[in-house]
């Protein structure tokens, strides 16, 4: 079966449509620091309001433990969503209680409401299917149809993702359709040469992606904290850098498999080694086979790829027709260790083909470093969901909408 789209729901004029968005944006002191996920939801919401629907938006924010926590309120998100839509967004101070009921019942055609954080209700993330279904039924009472558009949560079997899609006539929104088109191009029909850039802290988080994509790619570039497990697998000492010793043999297996397949795995030849974790740390650039050759010896820790590696990565990226990047190259939040990530991001903007930033920390990094979304072919809104897709896993939030690999 093919993915059901909004068109399958028919004429929505005057109908109430519950829309699951992913508005899980970062907040600092109650202020939104990156509104990328809100902006990503606008196309679907605008299409529904233009069709005359009464739109009831639901989302989560953070990880509250099934009860209200003021720091996780969606109130700031409602205000920003209203600014971006150019209309008032009514905000309900609960999920399925008196406030939600009153706000939804007062919606006119073309109106938009946002309910409070779904995860304030324990039914949203309950491991008990019956509890999830009971919560989904209460949400379903607010709508005539359901549109799922929170790509960042489609790998979760949660009430607003799975059971709600079963409780109402349901379809995927424009964001999910766009994400799936890009991911299909990455897995089934990439233009060659195809390069995957992986960073972030742990090799174990990326093993499934490496295994699934290795037969499909031409080059695999390894940065971030995970590079030290690769360097250790090659016999190098890595000081106090992040290291998963239990994954060294697995990494050696991938290095051997890459040779067999003719895939180039590019492991850093240098790194920025620091005396401690902090913006005020002393640091030095060291060759990969001399990471402990510093005044700090074995206590030094690598916090970024080095300039030689960054330049080599950039050259491979710029010469590729398809590039997928997931995971920063270093601790980009600290300026002394941001250059590797900045160099990789800049190279992606120069790709003559499809460049994809794989959501999560990578998306946060490019925006924090001053790049605009429009400079890349696609910035995914779903870090974990994207990775699970690229691992070849089943995603329940997509399958319930009729999509199957």
Number of domains in the chain: 2
Domain presence at residue 185? no
Q: Is 360 an annotated catalytic residue?
A: yes
pLDDT of 8 reads 96
Residue of 15, 20, 37, 286 marked active site: 37
Domain presence at residue 218? yes
Average pLDDT over residues 14-28: 96
What's the domain range around 345?
190-390
Is the domain of 244 the same as that of 369? Answer: yes
Average pLDDT over residues 216-228: 97
Is the domain of 164 the same as that of 202? Answer: no
CATH number for the domain spanning 283: value is: 3.40.50.1260
**pLDDT digit string (tens) for 286-314?**
999 999 999 999 999 999 999 999 999 99
Q: Give the max Cα distance, the chain.
A: 70
Across the chain, mean pLDDT equals 95
Residue of 87, 157, 202, 276 marked active site: 202
Is the domain of 163 the same as that of 219? Answer: no
Q: Note the helical H segments in 334-378.
A: 339-348, 360-368
Q: Is 384 an annotated catalytic residue?
A: yes
pLDDT of 384 reads 84
**pLDDT digit string (tens) for 322-338?**
999 999 999 999 999 99
Q: Which strands, in side-by-side order, build the sheet including 283-287?
A: 283-287, 270-274, 301-305
Is the domain of 337 the same as that of 236? Answer: yes
For the annotated binding site for substrate, the residues are 22-24, 37, 60-63, 119, 156
For the annotated binding site for (2R)-3-phosphoglycerate, the residues are 37, 119, 156
Question: In this structure, are residues 281 and 240 in contact, taking their beta carbons and an 8 Å threshold?
Answer: no
Residue of 52, 384, 393, 402 marked active site: 384
Domain presence at residue 404? no
pLDDT of 1 reads 54
Residue of 224, 327, 360, 397 marked active site: 360
pTM, full prediction: 0.90
- Alpha-carbon distances, residue 239 vs 8, 199, 243, 298 (angstroms): 57, 19, 9, 4
Q: Is 86 an annotated catalytic residue?
A: no
Nearest to 331 by CA among 358, 308, 354, 364: 364
Domain presence at residue 403? no
Domain presence at residue 399? no
CA atoms within 13 Å, Cβ hemisphere of 166? 16
**pLDDT digit string (tens) for 350-387?**
999 999 998 778 888 999 999 999 999 999 988 788 88
């Amino acid at each position: 079966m093919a993915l059901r789209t909004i068109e399958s729901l028919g004429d929505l004029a005057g109908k109430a449509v519950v829309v699951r968005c992913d508005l899980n944006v970062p907040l600092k002191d109650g202020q939104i620091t990156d509104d990328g996920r809100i902006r990503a939801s606008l196309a679907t919401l605008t299409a529904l309001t233009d069709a005359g629907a009464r739109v009831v938006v639901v989302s989560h924010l953070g990880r509250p433990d099934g009860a209200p926590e003021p720091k996780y309120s969606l109130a700031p998100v409602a205000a920003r969503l209203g600014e971006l839509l150019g209309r008032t967004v009514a905000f309900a101070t609960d999920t399925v209680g008196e406030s939600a009921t009153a706000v939804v019942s007062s919606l006119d055609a073309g109106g938009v409401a946002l309910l409070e954080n779904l995860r304030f209700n324990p039914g949203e993330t309950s491991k008990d299917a019956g509890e999830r279904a009971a919560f989904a039924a209460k949400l379903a009472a607010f709508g005539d149809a359901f549109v799922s558009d929170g790509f960042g949560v489609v790998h979760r079997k949660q009430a607003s993702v799975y059971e709600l899609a079963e409780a109402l006539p349901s379809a995927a929104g424009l964001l999910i359709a766009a994400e799936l088109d890009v991911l299909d191009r990455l897995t089934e029909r990439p233009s060659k040469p195809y390069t995957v850039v992986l960073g972030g802290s742990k090799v174990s988080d990326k093993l499934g992606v490496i295994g699934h994509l290795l037969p499909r790619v031409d080059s695999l570039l390894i940065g971030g904290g995970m590079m030290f497990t690769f360097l250790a697998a090659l016999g190098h000492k890595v000081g106090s850098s992040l290291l998963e010793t239990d994954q060294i043999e697995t990494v050696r297996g991938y290095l051997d498999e890459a040779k067999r397949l003719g895939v180039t795995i590019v492991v850093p030849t240098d790194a920025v080694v620091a005396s401690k974790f902090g913006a005020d740390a002393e640091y030095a650039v060291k060759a990969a086979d001399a990471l402990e050759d510093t005044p700090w010896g074995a206590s030094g820790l690598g916090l970024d790829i080095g300039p030689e590696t960054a330049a080599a990565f950039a050259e491979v990226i710029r010469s590729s027709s398809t590039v997928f990047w997931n995971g920063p190259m270093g601790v980009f939040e600290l300026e002394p260790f941001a250059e590797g990530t900045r160099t990789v991001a800049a190279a992606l903007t120069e790709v003559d083909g499809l460049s994809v930033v794989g959501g999560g920390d990578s998306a946060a990094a490019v925006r924090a470093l001053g790049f605009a979304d429009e400079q890349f072919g696609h910035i995914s809104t779903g870090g974990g969901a994207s990775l699970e897709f690229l691992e070849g896993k089943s995603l329940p939030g997509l399958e319930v909408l009729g999509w199957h690999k």
